[in-house]
Structure 1
Amino acid sequence: MFDIKLYPEFSWSLSRHKTLSQCARQYAYQYYTAHNGWLRDSSEHSKQAYRLKKLTNVEMFFGQVVHDIIEKAIDHYLNTGIVPSEDQLTNAVRNRMNKGFVQSSRHFKDWLSRPGKFTMFHELYYGQTNVLPADKTDKIKYRLEVTMNHFLESDTLKEMAYNEQIEFLEAEKFRILQVGKLKIYVVLDLLYRDYERDKWVIVDWKTGKQSEEDPYQLALYALYLLETYPIPSYKNIIIRNEYLLDGTSTEHQLDPVTLDKVQELIGTSTEWMNEYLDDVHLNKPLPLDQFPKTDDKRTCQRCNFYELCFS
């Protein structure tokens, strides 16, 4: 039976850290106010925060769709030995994008009552329109044209096709890294073992531009591997970013400095988050007015919870 808790269980993730870094008020809405907002007897404030938490923007939705289609394509290949064609993959992504647009533009009332079951684009919700901005449409059209071609030409897929000494281990599954009593959530896009090179390879598919944070995200995954699998050394781990927008691939060899930096970030970030708690044991937050709003209006305009701050 589902256990209803007054306060959410505390866990750490890089996305949670980034949210707090952007805006403490957004962090409060995302991780506390929205808690239990799916329950009928929750306050209207919590229900509203939960609905807004479920908003997505076009780029994020596209990225999630691409990840889902790639996961299915790899699973299909492992079961049949056949990789779907570029047209098949592109059409699958296009159909999912169209479905998301239809739900966002024509099923507003359905989304209001069941925000976890229907898609709502940030651009349509706050634009109060049924038409996406032209720049967003052009951006997604371009990404549709190139993404699946770059996936099929990626180093990872070539390695799958020509290296017979590969064992696939995980793909797109939530995993928990336990650091002391702290739970850290990680999602591996793809993990396999390359016996030919005696390496464990972590792959992260990227549908956006390169970021300075990318290697640190993968280093977090590597910590999970070192705790979960019988890997003799961090030197046996390769972390790879596949950038599907420009068709490039970047491999990072782990080093102790990067691993130490990631663990240090987790520690200092957790301490920072605890400053916003009235009771650390219960994960009970301070009153909402103790979470300051950002002064960066550009962040506000992109925020799902804009209407809670600027009614």
Structure 2
Amino acid sequence: MAELVNRFSYSLSQGSQFRTCERQYWFSRYGSWGGWEREASPLAREAYRLKKLTNRYLWTGNRVHEAIRETLEFLRSGAQPDPGDVREQLLRRLREDFRGSRDHPRKTPGPKNKVLLLEHEDPESAVSDQQWKSVVERALSAIDGFFRSEALRQIQKNGYSSLLRNDDVLESMDAEVASLHFPVFVTIDIALETPDGILILDWKTGKPEKSGNHEEQLGLYALFSKEKWKVESSRIRFAPVYLSYTPDRLDVSPVTEEMLGLASENIRSMAKEILSRIDDPERGIARREQFRTTTDPAECRRCVYRSICPDGPLGALSELSGPV
């Protein structure tokens, strides 16, 4: 078996994580690397375990995406799934996930693909029954919103055969900084081929963003689409779909060449900043002290690595803070 090498890569989520807290990025990308190996250090093993935790928002959002993906596959096959059945199946999965996480022994690894929630792992992250109920209700309302959404009507109008992507493919495009070539990873929820070009839909289970600014995300998707499907930027459009709030709206944004240029520059500048902290991006060597911690206690409290990070504003909860 070929040796796994932790070569540098980039994605929007990695960039967002780095901006939130550089040390969090380090734990995710470097501190946890090799934590699955028998000879891994205690810190690497624990960082790898913590990396697999999720929180209630990511958990329910992922389950909603999964339910929509499966529903569209059924619709594409000619089946007509009942919205009530889809809703009930989602609720069953959420309940099973919740019980499995709640009853799992704390601070122990779980089997592959098992959902383990930060709110059950860390007493400081625990939430009330009402907060659990609220996040589940929002997930269910997102499924209800999907079935009455303008986005689904657009998919049906263009035909299910027009679906180029359906939220299940991790793909990449090449980028370069200082002669280093690296992949930029992209996952598109929906790419739809229409008479006007490609329409990219992005399922949102949270509240509409106040700024309404999706240009960074749109630019990356547009760069990928232009390269993947050989389409002009003027024939690429993007629309976020807020399933729990305004599913009947479809605010479509066009793509411009200026937007593509800005997206390329954003990738290069963000990657350049991250690379400045890394000793060897080809071999995956990066020192923890090169990555600064956030100064925001709220961000620190939300971090899955909070228990093993001694330098954040809240300090570590564990003695596992030595060399990786």
Fold-level similarity (TM above 0.5):
yes
Q: Contact 2:32 / 2:47 at 8 angstroms: preserved in 1? A: yes
- Deviation track 1:210-260 (CA, whole Å, cap 9, x = no partner) reads 3345342132111111111121x1111111111112024321111122222
Which deviates more, 296-305 or 154-163? 154-163
1:121 alignment counterpart = 117
Which is worse superposed, 154-163 or 25-34? Answer: 154-163
Assess, with a 3 A threshold, how the Cα gap between structure 1 residues 175 and 106 changes in structure 2: closer, same or farther. Answer: same
Shift of 1:37: 0.9
Unmatched segments (≥5 aa) in structure 2 = 310-315, 318-324
Q: Report the CA distance between 1:289 and its aligned residue.
A: 2.2
Q: How far, CA to CA, are the matches of 1:4 and 1:179 in structure 2?
A: 21
Say whether 1:163 aligns with 2:161: no
**Where in structure 2 are the equivalents of 1:1-311 lying within 5 Å?**
1-5=1-5, 8-82=6-80, 84-108=81-105, 112-114=108-110, 116-127=112-123, 132-164=127-159, 167-172=162-167, 173-180=169-176, 181-194=181-194, 197-211=195-209, 212-231=212-231, 233-246=232-245, 247=247, 248-285=249-286, 287-309=287-309, 310-311=316-317
The letter of the residue matching 2:146 is F
Shift in Å at residue 166 of structure 1?
5.6
Gap change, CA 1:282 and 1:3, over 3 Å in 2? closer
2:113 and 2:196 mapped to 1: Cα distance?
43
Task: Check conservation: 2:139, 2:205, Cα contact below 8 A.
Answer: no
Q: Kindly state the Cα deviation for residue 79 of structure 1 after the two structures are TM-superposed.
A: 0.4
- Cα RMSD over matched residues? 2.1
User: 1: CA distance between counterparts of 2:12 and 2:170?
Assistant: 14
Contact 2:28–2:47, Cα closer than 8 Å, also in 1: yes
The Cα of 1:91 is off from its aligned counterpart by 1.1
Residues 278, 284 of structure 1: 8 Å contact kept: yes
Q: Tell me how far apart the structure 2 counterparts of residues 134 and 25 of structure 1 sit (CA, whole Å).
A: 32
Q: Determine the C-alpha separation between the residues in 1 that align with 2:110 and 2:38.
A: 11
Q: Tell me how far apart the structure 2 counterparts of residues 166 and 200 of structure 1 sit (CA, whole Å).
A: 13
Q: 1:213 to 1:96 in 2, by over 3 A?
A: farther
Moved >4 Å (runs of 4+):
none
Percent of residue pairs identical: 25
Instruction: Report if the CA contact (8 A) 1:11-1:183 is conserved.
Output: yes
Distance 1:179 1:127, change over 3 A: same
- What is the identity, as a one-letter code, of the residue corresponding to 2:172? I
> Secondary structure of 1:176's partner?
strand
Shift of 1:281: 3.7
The 3-state SS of whatever aligns with 1:277 is: coil
Instruction: State how far apart, in whole Å, the 2-side matches of 1:281 and 1:163 are.
Output: 44
Larger RCO, structure (CA 8 Å, separation 6 or more): 2
Using the TM superposition, name which of 155-164 and 98-107 deviates more: 155-164
**Counterpart contact for 2:139–2:244, Cα < 8 Å:** no
Distance 1:49 1:302 in 2: 15
Moved more, 171-180 or 137-146: 137-146
Q: How many residue pairs get matched?
A: 302
In structure 2, what is the Cα distance between the partners aligned to 1:37 and 1:262? 34
**Amino acid of the structure 2 residue aligned with 1:88:** D
* Structure 1 runs not aligned, ≥5 long: none
TM-score of the aligned structures, taking structure 2 as reference length = 0.87
After superposition, the Cα gap between the structure-2 partners of 1:253 and 1:235, relative to the gap in structure 1 and judged at 3 Å, is same
